[in-house]
């Protein structure tokens, strides 16, 4: 496989539009309620597969209907599921995604099987058959985050693999304390701006990136939403703007960006080419409802770039 994705997968229950909740009203109609795949690592894995990469996945689901659904989705994308574990000790993780009329969203999250996932669940032989190891959903994997993730990245680096990590919102408020053990083993760290502010205690993108580089990260790729991204490494520094498109749903925007960037790394593109491609993948994603439905194949993404 080209890329092994490790970590969070959930069943997303998307509800749209929800511009407010009034508990004094018994019933309110909405336009859509649909169940889709979700979770940072799973979203990235599926987007990578749609971009025609060879992908493997390591994570944990419950022995239930949501678990079977997610297994079917992953298998249908030709993703190697040999690293996906099934547990009877917890239900599959799920999220209610409330999406407003502007396409902005908020999550109501149940951890379930993700809370049970640990370093010991990973088949380490998978490290020998991949080129890049990416962990997604950090902060919502309490049994894996920190020490377990650091051990995985350390082993991957010792075997000559590139390492990458994305994070989500830290509901515990510990931020840097959790991920500090990982940073020295990361070739690429790709947080969103809001998370990065809490991790570093800084607000300026350049200061955020410099802080993370000083913690041992090789290259920082800071996702800035509608303002694009900021990339800083040892010998490189630049901003890249986002594409201006009509937004249906921002769910999966950051995960698809990561998939685009990793695709470029696999192809050994320059970091500016990686950023451009990643921005295009994300722009395609947010034009449809769901975390990965709008992601195009590789050539389709290149066509999107040419159209701009």
**In this predicted model, what pLDDT tens digit does every residue of 152-188 receive, in sequence order?**
999 999 999 999 999 999 999 999 999 999 999 999 9
Cα–Cα distances (Å) from 175 to 13, 65, 138, 143, 210, in that order, read 27, 33, 10, 15, 17
Whole-number pLDDT of residue 185: 98
Whole-number pLDDT of residue 27: 95
In the chain, the largest separation of any two C-alpha atoms, in whole Å, equals: 58
H/E run at residue 196: helix 193-200
Question: Residue 290 pLDDT > 90, yes or no?
Answer: no
Whole-number pLDDT of residue 153: 98
98 band by pLDDT with thresholds 50, 70 and 90: very high
Whole-number pLDDT of residue 105: 87
Within 10 angstroms of residue 218's Cβ, the number of other Cβ atoms is 18
- By the 10 Å C-beta count (0-12 exposed, 13-18 middle, 19+ buried), 38 is classed as buried
Whole-number pLDDT of residue 120: 97
Whole-number pLDDT of residue 134: 98
231 band by pLDDT with thresholds 50, 70 and 90: very high
Please, are residues 253 and 284 in contact by the beta-carbon 8 Å criterion? no
Question: Residue 1 pLDDT > 90, yes or no?
Answer: yes
| 283 Cβ contact list (under 8 Å, min separation 6) | 242, 243, 245, 304
139 band by pLDDT with thresholds 50, 70 and 90: very high
Tokens of 57: 């996945």
Reduce the DSSP state of residue 49 to 3 states and report it. Answer: helix
Whole-number pLDDT of residue 177: 97
Whole-number pLDDT of residue 291: 86
**Domains by residue range for the chain, with CATH:** 8-18+32-302 (3.40.1190.20)
Please, are residues 80 and 57 in contact by the beta-carbon 8 Å criterion? yes
Tokens 């995960």 locate to: 255
pTM, two decimals, is 0.93
Average pLDDT, the chain: 96
Per-residue model confidence as pLDDT tens digits over 40-73 = 999 999 999 999 999 999 999 999 999 999 999 9
Whole-number pLDDT of residue 289: 85
Q: What mean pLDDT is predicted for residues 186-208?
A: 98
Question: Residue 215 pLDDT > 90, yes or no?
Answer: yes
Q: What angle do CA 203, 244, 41 make, to 5 degrees?
A: 65
Whole-number pLDDT of residue 165: 98
Please, are residues 80 and 45 in contact by the beta-carbon 8 Å criterion? no
Whole-number pLDDT of residue 40: 94
Whole-number pLDDT of residue 22: 92
249 band by pLDDT with thresholds 50, 70 and 90: confident
Mode of pairing for the β-strands spanning 94-99 and 80-87: unpaired
Whole-number pLDDT of residue 103: 86
Tokens of 240: 């890249």
């Amino acid at each position: 496989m080209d890329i092994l994705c490790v970590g969070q997968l959930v069943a997303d229950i998307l509800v749209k539009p929800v511009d407010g909740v009034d508990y004094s009203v018994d019933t309110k109609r909405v336009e859509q309620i649909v169940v889709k795949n979700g979770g940072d690592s799973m979203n990235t894995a599926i987007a990578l597969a749609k971009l025609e990469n060879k992908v493997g996945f390591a994570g944990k689901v419950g022995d239930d209907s949501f678990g079977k659904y997610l297994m079917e989705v992953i298998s249908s994308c030709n993703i190697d599921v040999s690293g996906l574990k099934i547990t009877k000790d917890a239900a599959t993780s799920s999220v209610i995604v409330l999406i407003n009329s502007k396409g902005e969203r908020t999550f109501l999250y149940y951890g379930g099987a993700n809370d049970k996932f640990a370093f010991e669940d990973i088949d380490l032989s998978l490290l020998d058959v991949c080129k890049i190891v990416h962990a997604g959903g950090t902060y919502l994997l309490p049994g894996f985050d920190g020490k377990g993730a650091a051990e995985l990245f350390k082993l991957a680096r010792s075997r000559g693999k590139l390492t990458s990590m994305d994070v989500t919102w830290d509901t515990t408020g510990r931020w840097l304390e959790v991920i500090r053990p990982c940073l020295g083993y990361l070739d690429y760290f790709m947080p969103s701006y809001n998370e990065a502010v809490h991790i570093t205690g800084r607000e300026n993108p350049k200061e955020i990136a410099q802080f993370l580089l000083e913690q041992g990260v090789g290259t920082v790729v800071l996702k800035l939403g509608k303002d694009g991204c900021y990339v800083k490494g040892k010998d490189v520094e630049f901003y890249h703007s986002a594409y201006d498109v009509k937004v249906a749903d921002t769910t999966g925007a950051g995960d698809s960006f990561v998939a685009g960037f990793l695709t470029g790394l696999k192809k050994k593109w320059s970091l500016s080419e990686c950023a451009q491609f990643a921005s295009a993948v994300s722009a395609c994603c947010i034009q449809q409802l769901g975390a990965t439905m709008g992601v195009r194949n590789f050539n389709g993404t290149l066509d999107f770039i040419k159209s701009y």
